């Protein structure tokens, strides 16, 4: 094929094309900061005054209103958005103390001490004001957006970081440290300004919660978390908080004051001694005093027992359903190919295999021999281990025998006619096998458990889909699955499920096993080995799952400053006590939400949070990962709203809606989301927007929250909550994903990303070109990045689509390539190798592969798809579905028109903003909101 570069028709600008609305300047942050060339706006440095760029203290415009004739964007406000005149920006603090002097915050103003921390101007102001009085910090300014006028919504906001955390100057112990406050990728709050009393928190109607994600990559080497060089750990004697960058030093640096409870603690003498070199060292160079996220190497007192080896027990369905669909053969081959990927640096990993139908098939490895023997236990009412040894074996020492078993495994069951699947007894038996060590039970099932303990029956009822009774289908049918999961948790055992049935499998019941053991449920409806794309997805995800550097025997605790309490916990784990979350194994691809409450008034200008994960690494070392977050406080509602994090708030409401859906009904969950949004809009209208007259007022919200209505609206139309007939297995699986996905993946799962490919820039799909200026010569130097440049995302609406367009939809779990019916034949030829649209394969497939010289367009599109599929923090492999849209003249005749129409509807359901037959569009949703808010 020749390399053809075509000038495809270019659509005119439309409101839904993803281009900015009129009056919008690219790169303007809604939080009061300006992004140059669309890059993420720069977070204010610790201690930054928070005044909009270009405003000198006391100069005209310091109130937040730009002087006459000034460029509004220099002041950080989006086009057409007026700052709230009644919210003046506070003057920055003047320097009150000399460098090297500190203050004791707990006793009002004290004479400066010879401490090692310059507390900064704001700290001096606080000390001078006396304990119990909170000085006004120059926090983020409040700007108002009219939601009905800002259509289409500015989806570029979804990729912005949260509003900046504005802290007093030099509030960190080491002012030069740039990582003293946790990155939002690890630790973030729904509010980046905390109300200083409970009545204000309730008045705001905004949720108070923390989003914790201790790990953000599947492999340890892909993270850059500093580790302490010794096992010296300094903790507060009262609250048990770990020493961190926000403590205060007193008595010439010999003691530190806890930033959570104010207790004075001794600095360990070993802080200034290097055990390795035997020389003294500067304690201010220690990683725990410089970095917000750090790992301590734990001494023996943090171990109930020595770190255990990593254990994988594979429970494999060998019933006729699993064998006939190819699950048994595919899984054993995948495990065989993944043996080298299992974390096993110290050669202690252990494995075991159990085949399950109406009996339990154990595989005993004979020491010193390459062969195995099959031991069959038919008594599933009281399953037992048929051998005291040889079932759970060291991976390295038995590698030849394990490889031979995995090669031969399918042949043992190839002629089976057994249609039973005793999952419950198999779980019991596997639990007995590893309960003294702990580890993972990885289950592969193509059948509904239909015999023995935990037996389930098909209870799918299409007549209750979308009705109140549907919540019963979303709850467990048998209490065994939760009670057994709790037993597993106490024995440090995690259960992971890979479900592949084409029939009803009761995902709602089975998913309780991973939910309470810190595992995950992976669902592949109608999977078959006859489809290469199905095999690829399952194999890649299982292999990546086995290669994940999981933490073992882990517990998570989150603490906050005095006056704050962690009240509710959401995610896949078991709440062992009021504030301790238990993880037999800690996954690296999930996140957690902790709701908090204010128990007493907060007098300090800053509050602190700390999340700590005590765990054993997969290479046998006991460690504690600690994350620290400092957030300013305020007594003003406008400060609270100006710094609210819309993505974290969406994460919180997602968990609450899941809770409602399971305990009550889907309708109640949707109503809860709608009511929560109305409450927020009413507060904003009544308390923060002056002069509005009921009935004629616009629908307004702070600019940093202007995507919240879109996200909550999108959530109501998501597969997990939509008012439509949805198979309960699909619904339950969607709720499982919503309840565990980290924020970047969650937002895309709620509001899919759409790219226009037929008119993308020439650089898209190719390595990004970065232009830098040589400081010495002043000349521009162009370098090639390893990152593939993606097109700019569009809004999720078809109103801006062209009849000849080509669009790629990414909903976080699948990719849809929409080929419009009137697409240019040359474009089809460049992409698919044929100019006949009738010959383009549809459904789950892959694009043909052409080199850059053969077809530049095909190469660039495949590079874009490959880039989107790269997930260093997730095991999900996204299948590609090619969808051909209808022609403007008549629908294209495809052999299976019914399947094509279903595929079209599935793809179009990702276009959240559009109105459908059963549900309103986003514009109609906002109009209805305005009516309710105006009442």
On whether the CB atoms of residues 370 and 404 are closer than 8 A, the answer is yes
- The reply to whether CATH 1.20.1070.10 applies to domain 235-290 is no
User: What mean pLDDT do residues 458-480 have?
Assistant: 84
Q: Please state the φ and ψ torsions of residue 199, each to the nearest 5 degrees.
A: -65, -40
Comparing CA positions, the residue from 429, 407, 421 lying closest to residue 335 is: 407
- Look at residue 18 in the predicted model and tell me its pLDDT: 36
Instruction: Name the least confident of 115-124, 266-275, 772-781.
Output: 115-124
Instruction: Name the least confident of 164-168, 367-371, 533-537, 710-714.
Output: 367-371
Which residues make up the CATH 3.40.50.410 domain(s) of the chain?
311-547
- Copy the structure tokens of residue 514: 């991973």
Measured between alpha carbons, how far is 759 from 905 in angstroms, rounded to an integer?
Answer: 24
- Look at residue 470 in the predicted model and tell me its pLDDT: 82
- Look at residue 643 in the predicted model and tell me its pLDDT: 96
Measured between alpha carbons, how far is 830 from 538 in angstroms, rounded to an integer?
Answer: 30
Return the residue matching tokens 């449920």: 521
Measured between alpha carbons, how far is 64 from 83 in angstroms, rounded to an integer?
Answer: 7
β partners of residue 613? 556, 625
- Look at residue 127 in the predicted model and tell me its pLDDT: 36
Please state, in angstroms and as integers, the Cα–Cα distance from residue 484 to each residue in 478, 492, 625, following that order.
11, 12, 29
* pLDDT beyond 90 at 479: yes
On whether the CB atoms of residues 756 and 791 are closer than 8 A, the answer is yes
Q: What is the DSSP string of 99-142?
A: TT-B--TBTBS---B--S---HHHHHHHHHH-TT-PPPP--PPP
User: What mean pLDDT do residues 834-842 have?
Assistant: 90
Band of residue 226 on the pLDDT scale cut at 50, 70, 90: very high
> Please, what is the average pLDDT of the chain?
84
- Look at residue 691 in the predicted model and tell me its pLDDT: 62
* pLDDT beyond 50 at 753: yes
Band of residue 880 on the pLDDT scale cut at 50, 70, 90: very high
% of the chain residues with pLDDT over 70? 81
Measured between alpha carbons, how far is 771 from 773 in angstroms, rounded to an integer?
Answer: 7
User: What mean pLDDT do residues 810-833 have?
Assistant: 94
- Look at residue 913 in the predicted model and tell me its pLDDT: 96
Band of residue 724 on the pLDDT scale cut at 50, 70, 90: confident
- Look at residue 559 in the predicted model and tell me its pLDDT: 97
Alpha helices by DSSP H, listed for 592-707, are 637-642, 646-663, 666-683
| Cβ burial 252-275 (10 Å sphere, 16+ → b, else e) | ebeebbbbbbbebbebeeebeeee
- Cβ neighbours of residue 874 closer than 8 Å, sequence gap 6 or more: 218, 589, 742, 745
Band of residue 33 on the pLDDT scale cut at 50, 70, 90: very low
* pLDDT beyond 50 at 51: no
* pLDDT beyond 90 at 750: yes
Instruction: Name the least confident of 465-474, 672-681, 873-882.
Output: 465-474
Instruction: Name the least confident of 115-119, 192-196, 238-242, 641-645.
Output: 115-119
Which residues make up the CATH 3.40.20.10 domain(s) of the chain?
753-795+798-910
Q: Please state the φ and ψ torsions of residue 788, each to the nearest 5 degrees.
A: -85, 135
On whether the CB atoms of residues 815 and 879 are closer than 8 A, the answer is yes
> What is the fold of 753-795+798-910?
Severin (3.40.20)
Which residues make up the CATH 1.20.120.730 domain(s) of the chain?
646-750
Band of residue 89 on the pLDDT scale cut at 50, 70, 90: very low
Band of residue 148 on the pLDDT scale cut at 50, 70, 90: very high
* pLDDT beyond 50 at 119: no
Q: What is the DSSP string of 297-362?
A: EP-GGG-SSPPPPPEEEEEEE-SHHHHHHTHHHHHHHHHHHHGGGS--TTS--EEEEEEESSSEEE
- Copy the structure tokens of residue 847: 């694009």
**Better-scored residue on pLDDT, 445 or 116:** 445
Measured between alpha carbons, how far is 242 from 624 in angstroms, rounded to an integer?
Answer: 10
User: What mean pLDDT do residues 683-708 have?
Assistant: 83
Band of residue 178 on the pLDDT scale cut at 50, 70, 90: confident
401-454: pLDDT as tens digits: 999 999 999 999 999 999 999 999 999 999 999 999 999 999 999 999 999 999
User: What mean pLDDT do residues 387-408 have?
Assistant: 94
Domain 311-547: give its CATH architecture. 3-Layer(aba) Sandwich (3.40)
55-75: pLDDT as tens digits: 333 333 333 333 333 333 232
- Copy the structure tokens of residue 705: 């929250």
Domain boundaries 646-750, CATH class: mainly alpha
* pLDDT beyond 70 at 695: no
- Look at residue 170 in the predicted model and tell me its pLDDT: 81
* pLDDT beyond 90 at 138: no
90-99: pLDDT as tens digits: 333 233 333 3
Measured between alpha carbons, how far is 250 from 265 in angstroms, rounded to an integer?
Answer: 10
608-622: pLDDT as tens digits: 999 999 999 999 999
- Look at residue 137 in the predicted model and tell me its pLDDT: 65
- Look at residue 641 in the predicted model and tell me its pLDDT: 97
Comparing CA positions, the residue from 298, 300, 180, 290 lying closest to residue 232 is: 298
β partners of residue 393? 351
* pLDDT beyond 50 at 167: yes
**Better-scored residue on pLDDT, 793 or 92:** 793
Going by DSSP bridges, is the β-strand pair 350-356/311-317 parallel, antiparallel, or unpaired?
parallel
- Cβ neighbours of residue 294 closer than 8 Å, sequence gap 6 or more: 225, 226, 227, 228, 287, 288, 625, 626
On whether the CB atoms of residues 875 and 539 are closer than 8 A, the answer is no
Torsion from C-alpha of 658, 485, 307, 401, nearest 10 degrees: -110
User: What mean pLDDT do residues 917-934 have?
Assistant: 90
Which residues make up the CATH 2.30.30.380 domain(s) of the chain?
235-290
Measured between alpha carbons, how far is 119 from 98 in angstroms, rounded to an integer?
Answer: 10
* pLDDT beyond 70 at 213: yes
Band of residue 370 on the pLDDT scale cut at 50, 70, 90: low
Band of residue 272 on the pLDDT scale cut at 50, 70, 90: confident
Band of residue 256 on the pLDDT scale cut at 50, 70, 90: very high
% of the chain residues with pLDDT over 90? 70
């Amino acid at each position: 094929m020749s390399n053809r570069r075509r000038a495809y028709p270019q659509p005119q600008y439309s409101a839904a094309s993803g281009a900015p609305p009129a009056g919008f300047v690219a790169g303007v942050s809604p939080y009061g900061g300006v992004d140059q060339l669309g890059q993420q706006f720069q977070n204010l440095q610790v201690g930054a005054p928070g005044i909009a760029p270009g405003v000198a203290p006391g100069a005209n415009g310091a109130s937040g209103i730009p002087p006459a004739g000034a460029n509004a964007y220099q002041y950080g406000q989006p086009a057409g958005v007026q700052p709230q005149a009644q919210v003046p920006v506070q003057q920055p603090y003047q320097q009150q103390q000399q460098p090297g002097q500190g203050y004791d915050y707990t006793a009002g103003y004290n004479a400066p001490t010879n401490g090692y921390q310059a507390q900064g101007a704001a700290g001096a102001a606080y000390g001078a004001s006396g304990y119990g009085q909170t000085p006004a910090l120059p926090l983020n300014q409040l700007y108002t957006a009219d939601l009905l006028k800002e259509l289409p919504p500015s989806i570029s906001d979804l990729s912005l970081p949260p509003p900046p955390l504005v802290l007093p100057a030099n509030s960190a112990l080491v002012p030069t440290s740039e990582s003293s406050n946790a990155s939002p990728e690890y630790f973030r709050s729904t509010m980046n300004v905390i109300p200083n009393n409970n009545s204000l928190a309730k008045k705001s109607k905004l949720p108070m919660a923390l989003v914790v994600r201790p790990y953000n990559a599947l492999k340890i080497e892909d993270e850059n978390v500093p580790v302490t060089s010794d096992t010296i750990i300094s903790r507060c004697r009262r609250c048990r908080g770990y020493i961190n960058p926000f403590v205060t030093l007193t008595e010439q640096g010999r003691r530190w004051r806890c930033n959570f409870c104010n207790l004075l603690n001794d600095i360990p003498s070993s802080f200034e001694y290097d055990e390795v070199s035997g020389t003294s060292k500067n304690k201010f160079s220690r990683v725990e005093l410089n970095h917000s996220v750090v790992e301590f190497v734990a001494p023996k007192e943090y171990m109930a027992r020595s770190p255990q080896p990593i254990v994988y027990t594979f429970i494999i369905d060998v019933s006729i359903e699993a064998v006939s669909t190819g699950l048994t053969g595919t899984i054993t081959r995948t495990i065989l190919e993944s043996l080298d990927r299992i974390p096993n640096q110290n050669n202690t990993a252990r494995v075991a295999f159990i085949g399950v139908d109406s009996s339990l098939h154990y595989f005993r490895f004979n020491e010193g021999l390459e062969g195995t023997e099959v031991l069959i236990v038919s008594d599933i009412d009281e399953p037992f281990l048929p051998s005291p040894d040889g079932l759970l074996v060291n991976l390295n020492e038995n590698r030849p025998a394990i490889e031979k078993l995995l090669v031969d495994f399918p042949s043992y069951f190839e002629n089976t006619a057994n249609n039973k699947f005793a999952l419950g007894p198999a779980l019991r038996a596997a639990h007995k096998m590893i309960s003294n060590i702990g580890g993972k039970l990885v289950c592969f099932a193509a059948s509904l458990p239909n015999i023995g303990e935990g037996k389930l029956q098909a209870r799918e009822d299409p007549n209750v889909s979308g009705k109140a009774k549907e919540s019963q289908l979303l709850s467990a049918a048998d209490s065994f699955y939760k009670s057994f999961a709790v037993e597993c948790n106490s024995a440090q055992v995690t259960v992971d499920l890979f479900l592949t049935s084409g029939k009803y499998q009761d995902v709602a019941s089975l998913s309780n096993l991973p939910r309470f053991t810190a595992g995950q449920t992976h669902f592949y409806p109608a999977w078959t080995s006859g489809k290469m794309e199905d095999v690829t997805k399952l194999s890649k995800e299982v292999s990546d799952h086995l290669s994940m550097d999981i933490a073992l025997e882990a517990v998570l605790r989150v603490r906050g400053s005095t006056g704050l309490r962690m009240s509710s916990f959401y995610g896949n784990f078991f709440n062992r006590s009021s504030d301790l979350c238990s993880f037999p194994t800690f996954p690296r691809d999930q996140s957690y939400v902790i709701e908090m409450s204010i128990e007493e008034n907060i007098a300090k200008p800053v509050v602190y949070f700390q999340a700590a994960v005590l765990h054993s690494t997969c290479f046998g070392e006991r460690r504690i990962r600690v994350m620290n977050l400092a957030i300013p406080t305020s007594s003003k509602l406008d400060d609270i709203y100006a710094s609210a994090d819309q993505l974290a708030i969406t994460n919180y409401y997602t968990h609450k809606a899941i809770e409602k859906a399971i305990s009550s009904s889907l309708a109640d969950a949707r109503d809860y989301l709608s009511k929560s949004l109305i409450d927020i809009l009413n507060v904003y209208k009544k308390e923060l927007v002056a002069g509005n007259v009921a009935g004629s007022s616009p629908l307004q919200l702070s600019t940093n929250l202007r995507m919240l209505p879109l996200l909550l609206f999108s959530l109501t139309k998501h597969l997990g909550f939509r008012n439509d007939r949805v198979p309960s297995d699909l619904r339950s699986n969607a709720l499982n994903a919503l309840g565990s996905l980290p924020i970047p993946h969650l937002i895309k799962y709620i509001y899919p990303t759409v790219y226009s490919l037929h008119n993308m820039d020439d650089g898209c799909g190719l390595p990004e070109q970065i232009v830098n200026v040589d400081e010495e010569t002043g000349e521009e130097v162009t370098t090639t990045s390893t990152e593939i440049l993606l097109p700019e995302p569009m809004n999720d609406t078809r109103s801006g689509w062209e009849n000849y367009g080509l669009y790629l939809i990414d909903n976080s779990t699948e990719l849809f390539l929409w080929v419009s019916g009137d697409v240019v034949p040359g474009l089809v030829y460049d992409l698919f190798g044929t100019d006949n649209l009738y010959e383009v394969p549809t459904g789950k497939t892959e694009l043909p592969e052409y080199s850059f010289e053969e077809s530049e367009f095909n190469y660039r599109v495949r590079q874009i798809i490959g880039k989107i599929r790269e997930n260093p923090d997730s095991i999900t492999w996204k299948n590609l579905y090619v969808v051909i849209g209808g022609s403007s003249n008549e629908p294209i005749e495809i052999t299976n028109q019914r399947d094509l129409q279903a595929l079209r509807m599935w793809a179009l359901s990702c276009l959240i903003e559009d109105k459908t037959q059963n549900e309103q569009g986003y514009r109609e949703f906002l109009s209805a909101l305005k009516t309710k808010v105006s009442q």
